A and B are shown apart, each in its own frame.
Chain A
Amino acid sequence: QKEVEQNSGPLSVPEGAIASLNCTYSDRVSQSFFWYRQYSGKSPELIMSIYSNGDKEDGRFTAQLNKASQYVSLLIRDSQPSDSATYLCAVGDYKLSFGAGTTVTVRA
């Protein structure tokens, strides 16, 4: 499977701050990139998908993709305690490879 690496955590941010998550991948062929959120004891939930270079915004979430640098990131603006979870980066065109995840804790 393709290698997917995420910045090591855990990441602790105060409520209202921006949480920044990074992911690099090895496979230059992949065209599909995803961010999943996983609460403790729950299954992963898709929160963002991105396919082309640049930024994609959805509410408080912004995904950024740079295929030349093989880099994808996720920004969480105005972080809330409910954002406390593990965030998984996934790469692949139908067969997904996942990173190890970054655990985010938002301090009230």
Chain B
Amino acid sequence: SAVISQKPSRDICQRGTSLTIQCQVDSQVTMMFWYRQQPGQSLTLIATANQGSEATYESGFVIDKFPISRPNLTFSTLTVSNMSPEDSSIYLCSVEDREGNSYNEQFFGPGTRLTVL
């Protein structure tokens, strides 16, 4: 499966500021996804990022708060804008990697642990 890296691995930020999270994949992938995992919770899909088109956001998430870029088939960024303590979460990118008879399988990066003070 693809090797996925994220930067930064963790950060502590002040409220009102913004943080951009990078996701790098070692192979070209069509679909990349951004998830949030709030403390003690499961994963929630924020948006789907496809190269060459606008990201598609899930209910409850908006582009002004979570702008996403997807400049090529190996890279994406998620920005958490105008942060508040409620944005403290782990942010994860994932990619769909198709091999053999498997499909729709997603593999996750190591995550970015964000704390907003």
Contacts and interface: CB of A to CB of B under 8 A. Distances in A.
Of the candidates A43, A51, A99, the one having the most CB atoms from chain B within 10 angstroms of its own CB is A43
Contacts, number: 56
A53 interface: no
Majority-rule SS of A interface residues: loop
A88 B107 contact: no
Contacts of A98: 42-44
Nearest to A100: B42
B110 A49 contact: no
Contact of A43 (B41, B103, B109): B109
A1 B59 contact: yes
B55 to A, nearest CB: 13
Interface stretch (A7-15, A59-67, A69-77, A89-97): A89-97
B107 A92 contact: no
Contacts of A49: 102, 104-105
What 8 A-B pairs are tightest by C-beta distance, nearest first? A32-B104, A43-B108, A98-B43, A98-B42, A43-B111, A100-B42, A44-B108, A43-B110
